[in-house]
A and B are shown apart, each in its own frame.
Chain A
Amino acid sequence: MRFRIYRYDPESGAAPTVQEYELDFDPKGKKVLDALIAIKDTLDESLSFRRSCREGVCGSDGVNVNGTNVLACVTPLEGLKQPIEIRPLPRLGVIRDLIVDMAQFYQHYRAVKPYLINLDPEPENERLQSPEERAELDGLWECILCACCTTSCPSFWWNPDKFLGPAALLQGYRFIADTRDQSTNERLDFLEDPYRLFRCHGIMNCVEVCPKGLNPTAAIGKIKSLLVKRAL
Chain B
Amino acid sequence: MSKPMNSSQIPKRTFDAVIVGGGGAGLRAALQLSQANLKVALISKVFPTRSHTVSAQGGITAALANVSDDNWHWHMYDTVKGSDYLGDQDAIEFMCRNAASAVYELEHMGLPFSRLENGKIYQRPFGGQSQNYGGEQAIRTCAAADRTGHALLHTLYQRNIAARTQFFDEFFALDLIRDDEGTVLGVVAVEIETGEASLFESRATLLATGGACRIFRHSTNAHINTGDGLGMVLRAGLPLEDMEFWQFHPTGIPEVGSLISEGVRGEGGYLVNKDGEKFMQRYAPNALDLASRDVVARAIAQEIRAGKGCGEHGDYVHLKIEHLGAEKIMARLPGIRELSMQFAGADPITDPIPVTPTAHYMMGGIPTNMHGQVVSPVRYGPEEPTPGLYAVGECACVSVHGANRLGGNSLLDLVVFGRAAGQHVIEYLRENPYPRPLPQEKVDQVMARLARWDKPKGTETVAGLRDEMQRIMQDHCGVYRTEALLKEGLAMLDKVEARLPDAALSDHSKMFNTARLEALELENLMAIARATLVSALARTESRGAHTREDFPKRDDDRWLRHTLYFQQDDQLDYKPVRLKPLTVDTFQPKERTY
Contact = CB atoms under 8 A, between A and B. Distances in A.
Interface of A: 9-11, 29, 40-42, 45-46, 48-60, 74, 95-96, 99, 102, 106, 110, 113-116, 118, 122-131, 133-134, 137, 141-142, 144-145, 175, 178, 180-181
Nearest to B464: A41
Given A52-B46, A131-B116, A11 B223 contact: no
Given A48-B512, A128-B120, A134-B115, A58 B158 contact: no
A134 B271 CA distance: 32
A127 B107 contact: yes
Interface in B146-189: 147, 150-151, 154, 158-159, 161-162
Interface string B502-527: 00011101111111000000000000
Given A126-B107, A129-B115, A142 B463 contact: no
Contact of A46 (B104, B144, B258, B507): B507
Q: Interface centre among B224, B467, B512, B515, by most A CB within 10 Å? A: B512
B66 to A, nearest CB: 9
Interface of B: 46-47, 49-52, 54-55, 64, 103-104, 107-110, 112-121, 144, 147, 150-151, 154, 158-159, 161-162, 193, 222-224, 255-256, 258, 335, 338-339, 342-343, 345, 461-463, 467, 505-507, 509-515
Contacts of B64: 125-126
B223 A115 contact: no
Contacts of B144: 141
Contacts of A96: 511-512
B223 A126 contact: no
Contact of A116 (B110, B115, B335): B110
A13 to B, nearest CB: 12
A29 B345 contact: yes
13 contacts: A50-B50, A52-B51, A54-B222, A55-B256, A56-B338, A58-B51, A95-B193, A114-B158, A115-B109, A116-B110, A129-B115, A130-B119, A145-B47
Nearest to A136: B112
A125 B120 CA distance: 9
Contacts of A115: 109-110, 158-159, 161-162
- Residue in A42, A58, A118, A141 with the greatest tally of chain B CB atoms within 10 Å: A58
A181 B158 CA distance: 14
B110 A45 contact: no
Interface centre among B159, B339, B509 (most CB of A within 10 A): B509
Given A116-B110, A126-B104, A57 B55 contact: yes
Nearest to B463: A41
Contact of B463 (A42, A113, A125): A42
The 9 A-B residue pairs whose C-beta atoms are closest, nearest first, are A116-B110, A128-B119, A41-B463, A46-B507, A115-B158, A58-B50, A126-B107, A96-B512, A45-B515
Given A58-B50, A60-B50, A141 B154 contact: yes
A115 B158 CA distance: 5
A134 B112 contact: yes
B115 A131 contact: yes
Contacts of A48: 512-514
Contact of B506 (A45, A114, A131): A45
Residue in B55, B112, B144, B222 with the greatest tally of chain A CB atoms within 10 Å: B112
Given A125-B64, A141-B144, A144-B150, 19 more contacts: A10-B511, A10-B512, A46-B509, A48-B513, A52-B223, A55-B55, A55-B256, A55-B258, A58-B51, A58-B54, A59-B50, A60-B50, A123-B108, A126-B120, A129-B115, A133-B115, A134-B113, A134-B115, A137-B112
